[in-house]
């Protein structure tokens, strides 16, 4: 059995993968292939502890398989929830959209001076988006949910229907702030001065919202069977799940490439009311693979394996600037979180349970960051066996955007590896 390439391809027909352009997402076709192997009778529960845009949970849901998706980023929770939308409600979506727009237009409100949308918009420019967000919450959410919606006991009250409209609003906001997007798809700039903030015509915002709903409608897919799907805010290092409660894991952990997923979703976090200073910074610190060094695992652990420890030594003793003071700490933190997450997966998986992980390698200067090998050793130390491994060339990598890498190596590609493990019985 060879799994299909996890890379997302451009889709000929509209589907939910195009609802949210997530740089790090893998493909539904890949998850379908894996489900056939790890859940042959569609019985049991599959977990994705880094659920992102919800490819694992959406695919399982559409096939009638129970699943749980965890992610630390509230934006991704909303996106994954939206994709659970039942095709039965399609007819009501456009009338509901008009109701939301009408309520937004009727509401008299001033934008609060702390509103995070003010980073890119003038107060008048931010108002239609804020009014639409408030209208979605008033019509479709329990009143306590919207205030601090990004907290775990509030976000769990957001229905797939409300999430669908919030995703349409994310897309609308994204298209309005497009001029602040540099070539790097995972970054968003701030305006150079307050004068450069934008003030779109309110009618343009409402039309864009309608247009996005129409485009998303085309992607709503039929669902076979009844699945129990849970999408929760949480950390992979501390899974909110009972021991031996999942039968398989399909996931792609964050890359070890310093991509800042919090910045990557900053406009969407602003729609959810994430304030720049407190909430945003604490989210950045909780995310694996990002550029922020936080409180540290002070030393390597024996369970990490020899290759990982040698890699960390190579970084620590590398002559280039910042190797010891910053990069070594950052990679140490990444592997500490990775090992904790694998231990958590080991705890929640049933004996003999299967775990399929998609990982990507990268480089620090000329030093290879062989994530597949490092995870392979950690898994072996947890008593797992590697059933199979498939390697694919990944052609869009951030390294290609960095002209300085030529100083250290000529190859700027990357390998995406699918690692298929079985936990001990
Ligand atoms: C490579 S992406 C997963 C993409 C997903 N397979 C998809 O198809 O969309 C990794 C995800 O891990 C999430 N993440 C980062 N740190 C996390 C943590 N400590 N706990 C849980 N999720 C985390 C990020 O928010 C991101 O959505």
Spell out the per-residue pLDDT of the chain, length 425, in tens: 678 899 988 777 778 989 998 888 899 999 999 999 999 899 999 999 999 999 999 999 999 999 999 999 999 999 999 999 999 999 999 999 999 999 999 999 999 999 999 999 999 999 999 999 999 999 999 988 888 888 888 999 999 999 999 999 999 999 999 999 888 878 899 899 999 999 999 999 999 999 999 999 988 877 777 899 999 999 999 999 999 999 999 999 998 888 888 888 999 999 999 886 778 888 998 999 988 888 666 788 889 999 999 999 999 999 999 999 999 999 999 999 999 999 999 999 999 999 999 999 999 999 999 999 999 999 999 999 999 999 998 865 554 455 565 566 656 678 999 999 999 99
3-state helix, strand, coil in the chain (%, to 5): 45, 15, 40
Q: Ligand 1 test: best mutation among 78, 251, 254, most atoms within 8 Å of CB?
A: 254
Q: Do residues 135 and 213 lie in contact, with contact meaning Cβ atoms separated by under 8 Å?
A: no
Cβ atoms within 10 Å of 124's Cβ, excluding its own: 12
131 CB neighbour count, 10 Å cutoff = 23
Query: Of all protein residues, whose CA lies closest to atom 1 belonging to ligand 1?
Result: 254
Structure tokens at 218: 């085309």
Determine whether the shortest distance from the Cβ of 117 to ligand 1 is under 6 A: no
Q: State CA 82 to chain mean position distance.
A: 14
Distance CA 48, CA 27 (A): 14
Strand order across the beta sheet in which 246-251 lies: 229-233, 66-71, 45-48, 246-251, 349-360, 414-422, 385-394
Q: Is the minimum distance from the CB of 323 to ligand 1 under 6 angstroms? A: no
Any ligand 1 atom below 6 A from CB of 286: yes
Residue nearest to atom 10 of ligand 1 (CA): 254
Ligand 1 near 236 CB (within 6 A): yes
> Does any ligand 1 atom lie closer than 6 A to the CB of residue 252?
yes
pLDDT at position 276 is 67
Residues sharing a CB contact under 8 Å with residue 369, sequence separation 6 or more, in sequence order: 256, 311, 331, 361, 362, 363
Tokens read off for 281: 């910074």
Here the tokens at position 241 are 């799940």
Q: Is 235 in the pocket of ligand 1 (CB under 6 A)?
A: yes
Label the pairing between strands 349-360 and 246-251.
parallel
Find out whether the beta carbon of 265 lies less than 6 Å from any atom of ligand 1. Answer: no
Nearest residue (by CA) to ligand 1, atom 20, is 235
Candidates 273, 278, 229, 231; CA nearest to 137 is 273
Residues whose CB falls within 8 Å of the CB of residue 7, separated by 6 or more in sequence, listed in order? 26, 27, 392, 394, 416
Q: Which atom of ligand 1 is nearest to the CA of 286?
A: 19
Ligand 1, atom 12: closest residue by C-alpha? 50
- Which of 287, 291, 362, 371 is the pocket-test mutation for ligand 1 (most atoms within 8 Å of CB)? 287
53 pocket-lining for ligand 1 (C-beta < 6 Å): yes
Between the CA of 295 and the centroid of ligand 1 the distance, in Å, is 20
H/E segment holding residue 68: strand 66-71
Closest atom, ligand 1, to C-alpha of 8: 8
Q: Cα–Cα distance between 28 and 13 in angstroms, integer?
A: 14
- Alpha-carbon distance 278 to 412, whole Å? 36
| Count of alpha carbons within 13 angstroms of residue 332, beta-carbon side | 21
Residue 201 Cα, ligand 1 centroid: separation in angstroms?
A: 35
Q: How far apart are the CA of 360 and the centre of ligand 1, in A?
A: 13
């Amino acid at each position: 059995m060879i799994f299909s390439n996890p890379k997302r391809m451009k889709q000929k027909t509209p589907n939910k993968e195009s609802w949210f352009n997530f740089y790090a997402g893998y493909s539904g076709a890949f998850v379908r292939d894996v489900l056939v192997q790890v859940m042959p009778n569609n019985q049991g529960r599959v977990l994705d502890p880094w659920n992102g845009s919800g490819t694992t949970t959406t695919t399982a849901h559409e096939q009638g398989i129970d699943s749980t998706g965890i992610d630390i980023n509230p934006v991704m929770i909303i996106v994954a929830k939206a994709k659970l939308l039942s095709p039965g409600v399609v007819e009501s979506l456009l009338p509901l959209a008009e109701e939301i727009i009408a309520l937004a237009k009727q509401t008299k409100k001033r934008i609060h001076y702390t509103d995070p949308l003010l980073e890119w918009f003038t107060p008048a420019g931010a108002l239609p988006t804020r009014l639409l967000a408030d209208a979605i919450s008033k019509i479709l959410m329990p009143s306590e949910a919207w205030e601090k919606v990004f907290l775990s006991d509030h976000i769990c009250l957001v229905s797939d229907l409300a999430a669908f409209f919030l995703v349409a609003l994310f897309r609308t906001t994204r298209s309005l702030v497009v001029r602040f997007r540099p070539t790097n798809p995972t970054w968003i700039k701030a305006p150079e001065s307050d004068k450069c903030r934008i003030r779109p015509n309110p009618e343009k915002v409402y039309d864009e919202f309608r247009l996005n709903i129409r485009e998303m409608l085309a992607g709503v897919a039929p669902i076979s069977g009844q699945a129990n799907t849970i999408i929760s805010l949480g950390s992979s290092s501390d899974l909110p799940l009972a021991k031996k409660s999942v039968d398989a894991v399909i996931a792609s952990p964050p890359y070890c490439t310093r991509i800042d997923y919090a910045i990557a979703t900053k406009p969407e976090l602003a729609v959810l009311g994430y304030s720049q200073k407190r909430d945003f910074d604490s989210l950045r610190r909780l995310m694996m693979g990002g550029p922020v060094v936080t409180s540290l695992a002070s030393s390597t652990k024996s369970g990490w394996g020899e290759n990982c420890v040698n890699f960390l030594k190579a970084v620590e003793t590398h002559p280039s600037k910042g190797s010891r003071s910053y990069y070594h700490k950052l990679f140490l933190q990444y592997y500490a979180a990775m090992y904790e997450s694998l231990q958590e997966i080991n705890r929640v998986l049933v004996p003999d349970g299967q775990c399929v992980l998609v990982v990507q390698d990268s480089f620090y200067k000329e030093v290879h960051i062989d994530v597949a090998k490092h995870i392979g050793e950690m898994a072996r130390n947890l008593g797992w066996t590697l059933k199979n491994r498939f390697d694919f060339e990944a052609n869009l990598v951030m390294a290609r955007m960095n002209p300085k890498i030529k100083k250290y190596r000529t190859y700027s590609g990357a390998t995406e590896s699918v690692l298929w493990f079985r936990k001990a019985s």
